[in-house]
Amino acid sequence: MIDLVVRNVRIEGEPALVDLAVKDGAIVERGVSLNVVAAQEIAGDGRLLIPGFVESHLHLDIALMNDWQTPGRPEPYLSHYGLNQSVERRRRDFTPEDIERRASAALELASRHGVTALRAQCHVDREVGLKHVEALQRVKEKYAGRVTVQIVTFPQQGLINHPDNAPLFREAFRIGADVMGGASNLDVMGDGRIDWRAHIDAAFDLAMELDVDLDIHADLSIPQSVTFDELETVYIAQQTIERGYQGRVTVGHACTLGVATPKVAAEAIALIREANLNIISQPDLYRLGRDDTHNVRRGLTRVKELLAAGVNVTYASNNVRDALRPMGNFDLLEEGLILAYGAHMDTVEEFNTILRMSTVNAARALRLPHYGLQPGCTADFVILDAPTPSAAIVGQAEKAYVVKNGRIMATNQTISHLYQGTLAGKFVENG
């Protein structure tokens, strides 16, 4: 007997509506009008079924640190450096229980919005020690059946600026961290200098020593101009190739690539492709360009050019309702719409691409095993209340069903029958 069958859903690439049969947490069969009896049945009614959303970059330990009732920045926007100081000031009040409570709420909200796997950036430094990693590790175990979590060791206060840093990172992996992080802009030496190449080298050294993947914040600024050799992402690509780490390295932000001239950008993108880097656009529309008095820059990476070159590009929430960004809902359909505006993606095919970016592309960046909608894959999927990706993104479709490991995690009231030609009697005639 089959555990769950989903009837009459649309799946990208299938010419007709299909059924999906699930047993023991895996997809076992997919086809038109499957002749199976199941313990549980979902009527798809022509809606779109996609593999689970993958949140590829979220600062889970500081998420939801702002007032829940009154989202919005409690103080004026500071410089990026100032915002990080603000995080560090406010995190001194965090208790392990507090981090667990907020991270748990974040995972429940993400799950409700269709996220089935999430890569969590997590502060590791001499001030907080392993407090954040320990808390997220407990949350990761508690929610293992709902959202698969990978913990990235995020060096909030640097990696090479003190000899005690590296041992602390090694210890973080002993207690459960999964991926080595990096952020050269936060690695300030005693004399105020930043040696970003040495920071990247050290992050690679540790990742390779521990045999873990690497996920680096890089090229976060938007100077007036940039040369090929000044791009951090270029250096990361060169190191990836030199060290044979292709496919295991992810770069978040890469905003400076948007500054480069077309010639420099084309050379950089060719190298990024050769290194098989994963690029995550956050998308940084609101963070940068704050001091511009006219022609305000937005700090977005070259999403379309990277995609066209065959680079694995995804997008992510990054910060949700914390000191760095007071907005966000752990909702990748919402972030996808923001990306569509920012990156000028508006054709039907580009909306298809956006949904692929936060599902299959993100899963590839996280190297999730058995991900997808083929028989044999883990049964992690979402049924959107829309027939197509563009309808889902433009209409911000409800996530009608969220399924993880073959179990229904969330059912959300369908709010839109617009696409089926009825308004379901929800509106009162205005006499």
- Which residues of this chain interact with Zn ion, rule CB under 5 A? 318
User: CB-based burial of residue 399 (10 Å sphere; 0-12 exposed, 13-18 middle, 19+ buried)?
Assistant: buried
Give the nearer residue to Zn ion in terms of CB position, either 276 or 318: 318
Give the nearer residue to Zn ion in terms of CB position, either 161 or 318: 318
Shortest distance (Å) from residue 252 CB to Zn ion: 5
Give the nearer residue to Zn ion in terms of CB position, either 323 or 373: 323
Shortest distance (Å) from residue 119 CB to Zn ion: 10
CA-based nearest residue to 78, from 376, 301, 228, 287: 287
Give the nearer residue to Zn ion in terms of CB position, either 318 or 390: 318
Shortest distance (Å) from residue 55 CB to Zn ion: 12
Give the nearer residue to Zn ion in terms of CB position, either 254 or 340: 254
**146 and 166 Cβ atoms separated by less than 8 Å:** no
Shortest distance (Å) from residue 141 CB to Zn ion: 23
Shortest distance (Å) from residue 207 CB to Zn ion: 17
Give the nearer residue to Zn ion in terms of CB position, either 271 or 320: 320
Dihedral sign of CA atoms 188, 194, 195, 201 in order: positive
Shortest distance (Å) from residue 316 CB to Zn ion: 8
Shortest distance (Å) from residue 181 CB to Zn ion: 9
Give the nearer residue to Zn ion in terms of CB position, either 154 or 371: 154
Could you give the dihedral angle defined by the CA atoms of residues 84, 247, 298 and 265, in that order, rounded to the nearest 10 degrees? Answer: 130
Residue type, position 364, single letter: R
Distance CA(112)–CA(106), nearest Å, equals 10
User: Nearest to Zn ion by Cβ — which residue?
Assistant: 318
